[in-house]
Amino acid sequence: MASAARAGLKGHPYRRRRRGYVQGRNHVNGATVLGAIDVGTNACRLLIAVPDRQSSQASVPRVIDSYTANVRLGESLERTGALTGAALDRTIAALKECARRLKRRNVTHVKAIATEACRRAANAQDLVARAQAEAGIRLTIVTPEEEARLAAAGCLQLIGAEFDGALIFDIGGGSTELILVRRFAGNGLASHDIVAWSSAPVGVVKLAERHGGR
């Protein structure tokens, strides 16, 4: 079982892109380094990547660092309609760690988003203000449509060339997005377009709180 798990990790596309990276080496001399932060209902995630010059797919970045913290931002949100003080503190602590890693890797471009929990919470702007003041991170609360578009963009490289498209499921802590993408040819190159999308306010944290784990 352990060997099967290791085999699965070895085959993951992010694992392949990380090969050849020397741990602790910063990217300097004007190199582009990308940082993406996703503050969800359950977890805060960070990816740091650089354009992979050795890849035949120039649009696929090479991940050089990652971080995940289970901040449980949406804790009690179903019952109270607001983010708790403890949840805010956990999330800010995670964002401070993200900021530390962004600085250590000399990140040049950062996009930080928050999703369903912040869309629903009455005091979501408290998190936005604290993220800027305490972690130096400008957090944007995205719409369901933008969340669906970003989810699709993150999956496009995983769609095999033999397929005309895919139905993508993005199951989160507070919402679930479904995105239908189709392949089309333009200027001699194949690309994808979002045909339809839908977002349902149903996620693993919300279901657990609503039904008490039953």
Per-residue pLDDT of the chain (214 residues; tens, 9 = 90+): 344 444 444 444 444 344 333 434 454 456 899 999 999 999 999 999 998 765 555 467 889 999 999 999 999 998 899 999 999 999 999 999 999 999 999 999 999 999 999 999 999 999 999 999 999 999 999 999 999 889 888 888 888 888 889 999 988 888 888 999 998 765 555 577 889 999 888 888 878 877 775 5
Same domain, 14 and 120: yes
Same domain, 189 and 206: yes
Same domain, 150 and 136: no
Total domains in the fold of the chain: 2
**In 136-203, alpha helices (H):** 144-155
Entry pTM:
0.76
Strand pairing report for 44-51 and 61-69 = antiparallel
Contacts with 61 (C-beta within 8 Å, 6 or more apart), sequence order? 17, 34, 49, 50, 51, 52
Same domain, 156 and 209: yes
Same domain, 88 and 108: yes
Structural domain harbouring 89: 1-142
Domain boundary among 142, 167, 191: 142
Distance CA 202, CA 180 (A): 19
Contacts with 194 (C-beta within 8 Å, 6 or more apart), sequence order? 148, 149, 152, 179, 180, 181
Domain boundary among 103, 122, 142: 142
Domain boundary among 142, 176, 195: 142
Distance CA 110, CA 100 (A): 13
Question: Position of tokens 């045909």?
Answer: 195
Strand partners, 38: 45, 113
Distance CA 175, CA 142 (A): 13
Q: What is the CATH number of the domain that holds 204?
A: 3.30.420.150
Same domain, 171 and 72: no
Same domain, 132 and 185: no
Q: What 8-state DSSP symbol labels residue 135?
A: I
